[in-house]
Amino acid sequence: MKMETGSNDSKALISVRHLNSFYGRKQALCDVSFDIEARRIFVIMGMSGCGKSTLLKHLIGLKKSPPDTVWINGEDVSKWGHREWNDYWLRIGVLFQNGALFNSMTVGQNIALPLTVHTNLPQDIIEIMVEMKLHMVGLSGTAHLMPSQLSGGMRKRAGLARALAMDPEILFVDEPSSGLDPITAAALDELLITLKEVFSMTLVVVTHELESAFKIGDYMIVMDRGRIIASGTPEEIRQMPDSRVQQFLNRRPDEEQRDYDSYISRLCKVKRR
Amino acid sequence: MNSLMNFFAAIGRWWLGVLFGLGRMGIFFLCTLRGIIYPPGKTPLVIKNIYFIGHKSLFVIIFTGAFSGMVLGLQGYYALSRYGSEGFLGSGVVLSLVRELGPVLTALMIVGRAGSAMCAEIGIMRIDEQIDALRCMSIDPHGYLVLPRLIAALISFPLLTHIFDVVGVWGGYAVGVGLLGVNPGAYWDGIYRSLEWLDIWMGIVKSLAFAVLTITISTYKGYYAGVDRGSMGAEDVGEATTSAVVTSSVTVLVSDYVITSIMM
Amino acid sequence: MCTVDIKKSQGDSGYLIVSLSGELNKKVVRDIRDKIVGVIRSSRYVENVTVDLSDVNLIDTAGVALLVLLCQHVKSKGGTFRVVHPQDRVRRVFKLAQLEEFLTVENGNRQ
């Protein structure tokens, strides 16, 4: 995988070059570089703690990016002010891990919120739009319920409906399938693919579900401890000889091997006492 | 030698932390004010919050107001009767209430009730990523969550304070005149003679100042619950709420002294 | 940008042909709704409404919702509603929302 240093690829919607990210003194991202093409599904994979959530935060503007690291639509986002970020946020949708629904309003009101605040659409039209989005995610007829009355999986799908309310150009999804049963997860995968094909959406999906990732991804990066250890199309990744990649793909936990000796010695210490 | 250095370093760290917090709270407040220029449709929210702070606190305020007035009547009577000046009970009660006890106790009661609830509510939103969700929907959380609460407080605090004062005066009357035999005419006359506009202004200024301080502190603590530690759990909300109530209460008492010394 | 052209019939057989062109998105939906509903209200009765989408190259959820609203409105008055000549992209959106039947989407010949 070759990455151009310096200027970004003009074809890419989002470009990241040599991004380093810190929480205080702890480094969460190390020299991360990649491109996200428009109208494709870009998958970010990795185990917990590998930095994918931090990366997502940089892409959606919740964490400040240093200069010359992140470009969106050819613009360096470190130079963006309030207006640029607000314009950007109007054109994207974000699904957070637990749905992040607002507890004080109904499901329908949650989905309608961006429409009510940002458009002059009349109430009757908004209600129809809410029903359409709910139907799309398989939650027809739940508009009047409160978020606390939904199961975790349903909350996530409602969150997706809200992320789609404004028909965004880019959809960011944090762990779409976690907490969903296989059938619903598969339906969701289908929906994401349809969004790309029918609505020409660009999707950025953070996940650790391998099956889902390989099914929907056009391009993937695999992360480990803040670094990208592999990137490419699903077929390319599957055939990579890198041991860490293979280990991730086959879910082989090797760390346990190394800890075995210290485990035994700890056991023995306990016994002696 | 090393432990001495560590000691100073710890003090330094703590002080820097305090400054950082104050600075961030100041920016938080300014961002909230910014929401006045770019309002994300919040009029119904203001009304809802007035109901929450004001209406729901009404019973507590009336109750504590009555008993505060009654205790003032009691204490005042015994203090004044020593010099044969029971007739001044009315002025004693009303001035204590309007200048001090009304604004301060009202603020403390509301902090315990509404302030802690607001902090918890916003804190839970923070740990559930709802505040992030608002930002990514291009809805400024300061304008949407904090500003309505602030405006509602600015309206509710003075009104509740006045109610506290009035109920307190009646409480003092009930004890002083009703129980202890002070001349009713002297009671009301004392009030009429001693209460001045400056006293009432002082009460209003204090209640507005307390409103701004307590609500800013409470919402700020909730907004940043768990953020510095990077954790997103229930303990962070609990800690933020406790901190909000304690800090707000102390701030009310300290600023009470400051305002009093400026205005007296 | 979206332009609306409304042809109303004369006489007793009330029909309405609404031709839209451009992008039918959330920015324009309110104005278009007001225009069309205004015409429908001002006529004595309207039985058949046809919406011609041959010049509409982009439609979003708000646009579809507008059509649904009009369709509800007309059908509740006992009239008929149909959508004709949608472009491929637009037709796929109707399909995804499962509204082809409800809106009576037809690909008839251009008149």
Task: Check CB contact of C100 with chain A, cutoff 8 Å.
Answer: no
pTM: 0.87
The answer to whether A62 contacts B137, with C-beta atoms less than 8 Å apart, is no
Residue A157 pLDDT more than 80?
A: yes
For A33, residues 6+ apart whose C-beta sits below 8 A from its C-beta are A3, A16, A17, A18, A19, A228
pLDDT value of position C68? 92
pLDDT value of position A10? 45
The answer to whether A102 contacts B129, with C-beta atoms less than 8 Å apart, is no
C-contacting residues in A 37-66 (Cβ below 8 Å): none
B-contacting residues in A 13-52 (Cβ below 8 Å): 23
Rounded CA separation B132/B117 (Å)? 20
Residue B40 pLDDT more than 70?
A: no
Q: Helix, strand, coil % (nearest 5) of chain C? A: 40, 30, 30
The answer to whether A114 contacts B138, with C-beta atoms less than 8 Å apart, is yes
Q: Which residues of A touch C27 (CB under 8 A)?
A: 119
pLDDT band at A95 (very low <50, low <70, confident <90, very high): very high
Tokens representing B167 are: 């109920």
Q: Which residues of A touch C60 (CB under 8 A)?
A: 167
What phi and psi values does residue B128 have, to the nearest 5 degrees? -95, 10
pLDDT value of position A263? 78
What distance in Å separates residue B97's CA from the closest CA in chain A? 37
Task: Check CB contact of A141 with chain C, cutoff 8 Å.
Answer: no
Residue A8 pLDDT more than 60?
A: no
pLDDT digits (tens, 9 = 90+) for A236-271: 888 887 777 777 777 655 555 567 777 788 888 765
Task: Check CB contact of A91 with chain C, cutoff 8 Å.
Answer: no
Q: Which residues of A touch C33 (CB under 8 A)?
A: 122, 125
Q: How far apart are the first and last CA of chain A?
A: 54
pLDDT digits (tens, 9 = 90+) for B76-92: 998 988 888 888 888 98
pLDDT band at C6 (very low <50, low <70, confident <90, very high): confident
Of the candidates C26, C64, C92, which has its C-beta nearest A132's C-beta?
A: C64
pLDDT value of position A9? 42
pLDDT value of position A270? 65
pLDDT value of position C58? 87
Subunits with 3+ Cβ pairs within 8 Å of C are A
The answer to whether A23 contacts B230, with C-beta atoms less than 8 Å apart, is yes
- Do C and B share at least 3 CB pairs under 8 Å? no
Task: Check CB contact of B125 with chain A, cutoff 8 Å.
Answer: yes
ipTM: 0.88
Q: Which residue has the higher pLDDT, B48 or A23?
A: A23
pLDDT value of position C109? 47
Of the candidates B40, B125, B135, which has its C-beta nearest A89's C-beta?
A: B135
pLDDT band at B233 (very low <50, low <70, confident <90, very high): confident
pLDDT digits (tens, 9 = 90+) for B95-154: 999 999 999 999 999 999 899 999 999 999 999 999 999 999 999 999 889 998 998 999
Compare all CA atoms of chain A with the CA of C62 and give the residue at the minimum distance: A129
Task: Check CB contact of C67 with chain A, cutoff 8 Å.
Answer: no
Average pLDDT over residues B217-235: 88
pLDDT value of position A4? 33
Task: Check CB contact of C62 with chain A, cutoff 8 Å.
Answer: yes
Residue B42 pLDDT more than 80?
A: no
The answer to whether B136 contacts A61, with C-beta atoms less than 8 Å apart, is yes
Helix or strand or coil: residue C20?
strand
**Which of A93-107, A258-272, B250-264, C25-39 bottoms out in mean pLDDT, i.e. has the lowest?**
A258-272
pLDDT value of position A139? 93
Q: Which residues of A touch B230 (CB under 8 A)?
A: 23
Cα-based distances in Å from B134 to A203, B192, B221, B261, C45: 20, 52, 18, 42, 45
Q: Are A180 and A131 in contact (CB under 8 A)?
A: no
Residue A2 pLDDT more than 50?
A: no
Task: Check CB contact of C66 with chain A, cutoff 8 Å.
Answer: yes
Average pLDDT over residues A112-131: 93
Task: Check CB contact of C37 with chain A, cutoff 8 Å.
Answer: no
B132, B138, B227, B232: which to substitute to probe chain A, counting the most A Cβ within 10 Å? B138
The most confident of A20-24, A155-159, A195-199, A265-269, by mean pLDDT = A155-159
Task: Check CB contact of A89 with chain B, cutoff 8 Å.
Answer: yes
pLDDT digits (tens, 9 = 90+) for B54-77: 877 899 999 999 999 999 999 999
Indicate the average pLDDT of chain B.
90
